[in-house]
Every structure is written in structure tokens, then in C-alpha cells.
Amino acid sequence: MKVARSIAELTGLRDEIPATHRVGFVATMGALHAGHATLIQQAQALSDTVVVSIFVNPLQFGPGEDYARYPRPLEADLDRCAELGVDLVFVPAVGDLYPPGRQVAVSAGTMGTVLEGAVRPTHFDGVLTVVLKLLNLVRPQVAVFGRKDAQQLACVSRMVVDLNLDVRVVGAPTVREPDGLALSSRNVFLSPADRGLALSLVDALEKAAAQSDLPSALDAAWEVLDKASLDPAFVLDYLAAVNPETFAEVGADHGGDVLLVVAAKVGAVRLIDNITLHHPEPLVPLTVPRLPTPR
């Protein structure tokens, strides 16, 4: 495994990859866990050479968020990448990606201002700015992102379409811990009591998925979350049913696939999760046009 610690090193090593190789890419902020391993394995299945980036992106953290304390076990992450058979790891410094005088950034548009974007203004602008930079530098044919960060996946997919980027974006399934909690680098900050509360997110989604229609699904989820919210350590940010591609909220009469997204602060840790609800399309009465009366 090779490691590039600057853009110049990455450029040189990227140029050594045979032109016939399909390059897969996984962007991470480090603190790698089994969820990241799944992304890497998905990239390996779809490509010949896999590049992983490790970069804690300051642009996607807002004031008062956990940028300073975000875990950065770089050597352990590099060892994990080597074990997983990664070909090239890119570990840039902040000054590499954001030089002095930087002015231009990417806007996530309306999709980046709702739900997670409403709670964390400019977050998705920061995500898309760094992802675009990394895609330009790595030049992959395939980029794999986790479905746990569903709104991020939707924003990246939209950017690729809108900016005509020559890369295929693939969403990998959410990986969960044995108790069902979605894997996150922030889970290590949960106390035992807070972890029990965090499982309310999983319980709400599972109960929603067991229902046959969207109104019942929302009622089942709210029942769980209302109970969890009685504990002051649990602060719900949102629960919403959205179109998985646009993140526009859908009405109770919506049929077809819906993404149910939830976010809450549990103790000092903010967690997100989601599940796809598969409901039948509503029946539309067939209107038979009246045939003209023969003359």
C-alpha cells in the first residue's frame, strides 16, 4: 500500500496507475470502522485499484461542533487500510486542500438547506466542496458512499449530475453494531445510558418499517420518539419522510419507496439514521377516453 501525504505525491502515484485500471474511491474522515470496511470492499468489487482519502474536513463542521475532538487515529487507520488491501491512501493537510485566499466553494442548493442542512447550515456546502476537490484529484471512475449519510449521498449524486462529473456514485448499505445502532465514529462518545437512549432511533425505524402505509409508519415512529424525548438527554432534531433523491418531504398519500430519516442529540453526541419504506403505489383509477361517435 502506498501513502500520499501531499497533492504532489498523490498526482505522481495516481499517474502510475495503469490507464486500463478502473479506479474506485472512498472518501473518509478516518477513525475507520466496519462501515468504512464495507465501503472499501464495495469499491474493490467494482474496480481494479482502490484509493481511500483520510481527511477531517473543517468546512463541514459548524461553530460549536466536534471538529477539535473528532478522533484522528491515523496510524491505526493506515494499518486498517493495509489489512483491507487498499492500494493508495491520500492523507492531505488542511493547507493542501484549502490554500490561503481560497474563495470558491460549492453550493448544495435547496437540498442542502433542509433537515440535516437546516440543523447544520453550510454543512453540505462543505461536504460537496471537499468531495469535488477529492474527485478532481483522485480521478476515479467509481466513488462509494454510505447510505447511513443519506442526505450526503443524495447531495453528492446531484452534484455529479449537475456538474457533469465523469464518475459513478454508488451507495453502500448501512452497517450496524450487534444491538442495531448504525456504526459511527461518534458512537465511542456515548455513555452506557446514552447508548440505550440512542437505540430509540433504531426502534422507531424498525417499528415504522413494520407498517403497511406511511401514516401508520409515522405514527409508530413518533410513539417511540415521544417516549424517548421524556428523557432530557434525548433531544430530537427531526423525523421526516422524504423522496430519497430530492429530500423533499412527501405527503401521507405518497406511494412507492420513501426514505424515513431521523436525527437526535443523545447526551453530547448527535446521531442520524434512516430506513427505506417500501409501500405500494396508490391505485389510480383508469380513465378510458370516450371514442368519437361514428358518423
Listing DSSP states for 80-112 in one string gives HHHHHT-SEEE---HHHHS-TT--------GGG
Sheet with 269-279, side-by-side order of all strands: 234-242, 256-266, 269-279
pLDDT at 56: 96
Backbone torsions φ then ψ of 90, nearest 5 degrees: -105, 120
Give the chain's mean pLDDT: 92
Say whether pLDDT at 282 is over 70. no
Cβ partners under 8 Å of residue 232, min gap 6: none
pLDDT at 165: 98
97/55 Cα distance (integer angstroms)? 10
**Superfamily (CATH H level) for 2-172:** HUPs (3.40.50.620)
pLDDT at 185: 83
Say whether pLDDT at 124 is over 90. yes
Grid cell at residue 184: 459511527
Residues 217 and 209: beta-carbon distance below 8 Å: yes
Q: Higher confidence at residue 24 or residue 183?
A: 24
65/120 Cα distance (integer angstroms)? 9
Q: Is 193 a known ligand-binding residue?
A: no
Residues 43 and 37: beta-carbon distance below 8 Å: no
pLDDT at 252: 72
For the ranges 136-150, 188-202, 229-243, 251-265, which has the lowest average pLDDT?
251-265
Q: Is 148 a known ligand-binding residue?
A: yes
Backbone torsions φ then ψ of 155, nearest 5 degrees: -65, -45
Q: Is 278 a known ligand-binding residue?
A: no
Say whether pLDDT at 132 is over 70. yes
Say whether pLDDT at 247 is over 60. yes
pLDDT more than 90, % of the chain: 84
The CATH architecture annotation of domain 187-279 reads: 2-Layer Sandwich (3.30)
pLDDT band of residue 188 (cuts 50, 70, 90) is: confident
pLDDT at 130: 98
Q: Is 149 a known ligand-binding residue?
A: yes
* Element at 278 (helix H, strand E): strand 269-279
Backbone torsions φ then ψ of 285, nearest 5 degrees: -55, 135
- 91 backbone φψ class: left, alpha, beta (φ>0; ψ -120 to 50): beta
Q: Is 128 a known ligand-binding residue?
A: no
pLDDT at 69: 85
Q: Per-residue pLDDT averaged across 194-202, rounded? A: 96
pLDDT at 66: 81
pLDDT at 283: 43
pLDDT band of residue 255 (cuts 50, 70, 90) is: low
Residue 118, classed as helix, strand or coil, is helix
Q: Where in the chain is the domain with CATH 3.30.1300.10?
A: 187-279
Q: Is 32 a known ligand-binding residue?
A: yes
Say whether pLDDT at 288 is over 80. no
21/67 Cα distance (integer angstroms)? 36
Tell me the pLDDT tens digit for each residue of 35-92: 999 999 999 999 999 999 999 999 999 888 888 888 899 999 999 999 999 999 999 9
- Catalytic positions are 36
pLDDT at 186: 86
Q: Per-residue pLDDT averaged across 96-113, rounded? A: 94
pLDDT band of residue 278 (cuts 50, 70, 90) is: confident
Q: Per-residue pLDDT averaged across 166-183, rounded? A: 94
Q: Is 184 a known ligand-binding residue?
A: yes
**How many C-beta atoms surround the C-beta of residue 1 within 10 A?**
15
242/94 Cα distance (integer angstroms)? 34
Helix boundaries (H) for the chain: 7-15, 34-46, 74-84, 94-97, 116-119, 123-138, 150-162, 192-209, 214-228
Burial 114-128 (b: 16+ CB within 10 A, else e): bbbbeebebbbbbbb
Q: Per-residue pLDDT averaged across 171-193, rounded? A: 91
* Element at 211 (helix H, strand E): none
Give, as one character, the DSSP assignment of residue 243.
-
Q: Is 175 a known ligand-binding residue?
A: yes
pLDDT band of residue 246 (cuts 50, 70, 90) is: very high
Grid cell at residue 263: 436525527
Residues 4 and 13: beta-carbon distance below 8 Å: yes
- 98 backbone φψ class: left, alpha, beta (φ>0; ψ -120 to 50): beta
pLDDT at 256: 74
pLDDT at 292: 42
Sign of the dihedral through C-alpha 116, 117, 122, 128: positive
Q: Where in the chain is the domain with CATH 3.40.50.620?
A: 2-172
Q: Is 147 a known ligand-binding residue?
A: yes
